[in-house]
Amino acid sequence: MALLQDITVPLLAVNDTTLTVVDVAFPNGQPVKKGEIILVFETSKTTYEVVAESDGFVQYLCEAGRDYEVNQVVAKIFSSASEVIKEPVTAKQEYTPHVQDGKKNTVNDWAGETLFSLEAIDLIESLHIDKSVFKGRDFVSRQDVEELKGINGTSNNKLPVQPVSQQPKKTAIPVDNSKVIIERISSNKKREIEFLSHVQSIGLTSTIDVYVNTDGIFVHLNRSLKYFKNSLLPVIIYETARLLQKYPALNGYFTGDGIAYYKSVNVGFAVDIDKGLKVLKIGGAAEKGLTEIEENIMGVSSRYLDDTLQIDDLTDITFTITDLSSEGVAFFRPLVNMMNSGILGVSSIDEKLQRCTLSCTFDHRVTEGKLVAAFLRELANRLESYRATNHNYPTKDILCYKCSKSLQDDLGDVGFVKSITPDGKDGYICQSCLKGF
């Protein structure tokens, strides 16, 4: 007789502190074979199946459709059927216990009569518990009864720390069905909300924008790019990854009472092409060359489109880049993901002004504006260094719109002036025509 396997909720993505059990494969107590799927979790990005490691009898401590916290035991496999107790474990409690719970709640040195709360009495009656087990207590609440029966594992007497968003909030915004049509949000969207609100809901984020001069930037860059011609994303990932080593505060997160700095740089980039919003990982980006990064982007993007993403493509992302440059946006405010301290937003290149906006939203609890501004400025400088500074115009093709002389043929060494022609077109004018002799 032995416990063969404890199935706990895995940490699959930094953003998922709870997972939904979407499928419970067997009835409680059923024999299972090694390799059989026991249960299926849904993460914010994919599903995850847990298989039996050996033959045995399964006991579920969970129900399909409910959320459980990472590391919580949700199923066990025993060597014999008799070991299986058919008691369900409740879903993730609405409130996790207070961290500072020093004192034990159970005190047994009360000589007077015990006062039971109404719910405690109901529970005692429904569980047929002998009230005298509570002798020595002054007050017995429902939670005290549950604690005694080990129902909740922990006492919920203590502080409500952080309600799970999945649980219907008591203060939902009222809905008048005669005026609106309700569409339930998907569990994916709910998760997105949950892990974005983790950093953002505190309200301690701010966003800093800088412009990058993109004039002539692709002249050389496109020669190095294989797949993503005219895209800044690969070089931004490349340069950001390197810079993050210099700015470790942006490659970490706020833990509640400290700051966690990631040991490696895994840059994530957000994609949303028909398959839902996902952040895909370029692991160890700081050690990779531009070509390798481009290859990686290509590889992970195709897996995204083919629905063959691995857990590893989605987890342990230390900094996120969201590229909306193909959407024609001037600038936007990206939202920091859970367990990150910053996110970089890339806006579209303004063709007229030859520039684009980089926006970095960051968690003030981890870093501050001055540092992030320096990070952004340095990033912009690095990107601008790719610009073809002496933009080589073919001198013979540049003609003065007035005298049709080409730049090549011009004798003065001051060059031509960019101008607008009398019919409103872009053109050039030579010094002689402009100023006269």
Partner 1 sequence: MQSVSKTISHRVIKDAIRIRRVEEKFLELFSAGKLNGTVHTCVGQEFSAVAFAGQLKKKDFIFSNHRCHGHYIAFTGDIRGLLAELLGKASGVSGGIGSSQHLCNKNFYSNGIQGGIVPVAAGYALGNKLRGEDAIGIVFIGDGTLGEGALYETMNIISKWEIPLLIVCENNLYAQSTPQHINLAGDIGSRASAFGIKTFEGDTWDPELLINNAQGAIDYVRSSVKPGFFLVNSYRLNAHSKGDDDRDKEEVEIYRNKDFLNVFSKESSDYYNRYLEVINKEIDDLVDEILLEDELPLENYYKPEAVVSNNSWVGLEPVNKRQVELLNKFFRDKIVSDDRAVFLGEDILSPYGGAFKVTKELSVLRPERVFSTPISEAAITGISNGLALNGFKPLGEIMFGDFMTLAFDQIVNHASKFHHMFNKKINCPVVIRTPMGGRRGYGPTHSQTLDKFLVGIDNVKTVALNTFFDPTIIYESIFNEEHPVLVIENKTDYGKRILSHKYSHFVYERNEDAYPVVRVKPAVSTPTITIVAYGGQADEMLSMLEAIFLETNLKPELIVPSLISQLPVDIIAESTMNTGRLLVIEEGSGYAGIGSELLASVAERAEGAIKMKRISAYPVPIPAVKSLEHAVLPGKNRIIKEIKEIFC
CB of 130 to partner 1, least distance (A): 20
Four-point Cα dihedral 146, 152, 158, 161, nearest 10: -150
| 227 contributes a contact to partner 1 by CB under 8 A | no
State the CB neighbour count (10 A cutoff) for residue 267.
28
Q: Residues 120-124: contacts with CB within 8 Å, 24+ apart? A: 120/144, 120/145
Using CB under 8 A as the binding rule, the residues of this chain from 169 to 188 that contact partner 1 are 170
Decide whether 160 or 369 has the Cβ nearer to partner 1. Answer: 160
Instruction: For strands 319-323 and 342-346, give the pairing.
Output: parallel
Residue of 247, 241, 246, 261 lying closest to 339 (CA atoms)? 261
Euclidean distance between CA atoms 124 and 53, whole angstroms: 39
Asked whether position 141 contacts partner 1 by CB under 8 A, the answer is yes
Residue position matching structure tokens 């050389």:
220
Our CB check for partner 1 shows the closer of 157 and 367 to be 157
C-alpha to C-alpha distance for 363 and 144, rounded to whole angstroms? 39
Q: Is 66 in the site for partner 1 (CB under 8 A)?
A: no
Of 61 and 120, nearer to partner 1 (C-beta) is 120
Using the minimum distance from each CB to partner 1, give the nearer residue, 102 or 412: 102
- Sheet order of strands, 319-323 included: 205-213, 355-363, 342-346, 319-323, 267-271, 278-282
Contact segment (CB under 8 A) with partner 1 among 112-120, 212-220, 289-297, 323-331 equals 112-120
49 CA to centre of own chain: 21
The structure tokens 């416990």 sit at: 3
- For residue 76, state whether it binds partner 1 (rule: CB under 8 A): no
Select the residue interacting with partner 1 from 66, 76, 142, 355 (CB under 8 A): 142
Number of residues that bind partner 1 (CB under 8 A): 30
Does residue 125 belong to the site contacting partner 1 (CB under 8 A)? no
Q: Which residues pair with 115 in a beta bridge?
A: 139
CA dihedral 267, 272, 276, 282 (to 10 degrees): -20
User: Of these, 33, 34, 98, 229, which contacts partner 1 (CB under 8 A)?
Assistant: 98
In the bound complex, what is the minimum distance in angstroms from residue 340's beta carbon to partner 1?
21
State the minimum distance, in angstroms, from the CB of residue 119 to partner 1: 6
Taking CB under 8 A as the binding criterion, the range among 17-25, 118-126, 303-311, 329-337 that sits at the site for partner 1 is 118-126
115 binds partner 1 (CB under 8 A): yes
- With binding defined as CB under 8 A, does residue 2 bind partner 1? no
Q: Given the rule CB under 8 A, which residues bind partner 1?
A: 98-100, 103-105, 107, 109-110, 112-113, 115-120, 137-139, 141-143, 157-162, 170
